[in-house]
Amino acid sequence: MYRMPEGIHATDVETERLRMHCLLAGPVDGTPVVLVHGNLSTGLFFDGLMATAPGTVRVIAPDMRGFGETERKPIDGTRGLRDWADDTAALVRALGVNGPVHLAGWSTGGGAIMQYALDRPDAVASLTLIDPVSPYGFGATSGADGLPTSDDYAGSGGGLANQEFVERLRAGDRGGDSDVSPRNVMRAFYWHPAFEMDPEREDALVDEVLKTHIGDGGYPGDGAPSRNWPGVAPGTRGILNALSGRWLDTSGIVDISPKPPILWIHGDGDLVISDQSMFDAGTLGRLGALPEWPGEDVHAPQPMVAQTRAVLERYSANGGEVREELITDSSHGPFIDHADDCARLLWGFVTGHATA
């Protein structure tokens, strides 16, 4: 049976929005750092990173709405990732944290903390983006400036989810007999193929993924028919719609004031957040996995990394501090497959920007 590292404990926190399950570590009066996980994961994915935090840091890693053991409430897709951002702010208040907080977000969590900063820049001490979703959402945008590929953002949202994967989640599949079993999806996309995952930890992380709230208000969310390729547009409920560029756009972060310093960490082998993402309709169309692809001129693969870089370059040009760190031989979860490097970067960045 897997055991969390010493010094980390789990608790439930009642906030004004919902009850949130959290992992906590470090002194109550320490420098506050909130770790926001990504889609199809929970706070437990961060426990190894939490264990390496300096003794002066208070680490908070919640299960976000729709995942883990947090109270099951629906995600309003039309708010983009504001439900997650507002939930995080409510958690910070409920824990009695005073002053700005350091935020680190992985994948979907990266988009959520950017939204947090957009809505309340004075409350943010720093942002660490770990393989973050593009500022223009996931799917159905093109070019570094994130222009939509169609008027209804067809090719993004909940209607594009792999239904066999959804059913295996619903059934609690812990095995590995299919490429779309949750265990094999994690192995293929969450960490680098060369990384040797501890079997007990892998079992624990599979169990966490299986706590995902399945349905229109959770994962994957609803969809809508479209006249545009591939025939499905985003709906209004659930996490994949919250990620659609129809509802999510954090590019306005370039104009916020004050501007918290930003650290961008990403793996060079990431197949999830990539300029050729294996979950993007444009990439799948180009590969023939989605039929009747209309071609590059109509629906090219989304250049997710290029879009993030373009926004962060504008942030820097407008007076913000940005540091980019590319980790080689790393996949979508560098804090898993390159734990030491990621810990050094994150905690060095946080302590270097800690206030007295």
**332: three-class secondary structure by DSSP:** coil
Q: List pLDDT tens digits, range 269-297.
A: 999 999 999 999 999 999 999 999 999 99
Residues in contact with 96: Cβ distance below 8 Å, sequence separation at least 6, in sequence order: none
The whole-angstrom separation of Cα 309 and Cα 266 is 11
232 forms beta bridges with 225
pTM of the predicted protein model:
0.98
Q: Report helix angle 82-94 to 108-119, nearest 10.
A: 70
Structure tokens at 95: 């824990």
Q: List pLDDT tens digits, range 2-12.
A: 999 999 999 99
Task: Please choose, from the candidates 162, 245, 170, 156, the residue with its C-alpha nearest in 3D space to the C-alpha of residue 213.
Answer: 170
**325: three-class secondary structure by DSSP:** strand
Q: List pLDDT tens digits, range 218-259.
A: 999 999 999 999 999 999 999 999 999 999 999 999 999 999
* Domains contained in the chain, CATH given: 8-152+248-352 (3.40.50.1820)
Mean residue pLDDT across the chain:
97
Residues in contact with 199: Cβ distance below 8 Å, sequence separation at least 6, in sequence order: none
Q: Do you find a cis peptide bond into 230, omega within 30 degrees of 0?
A: yes
Token pair 């820049």 is at which residue? 121
Structure tokens at 254: 């370039």
> How would residue 354 be classed by pLDDT, with cut points 50, 70 and 90?
confident
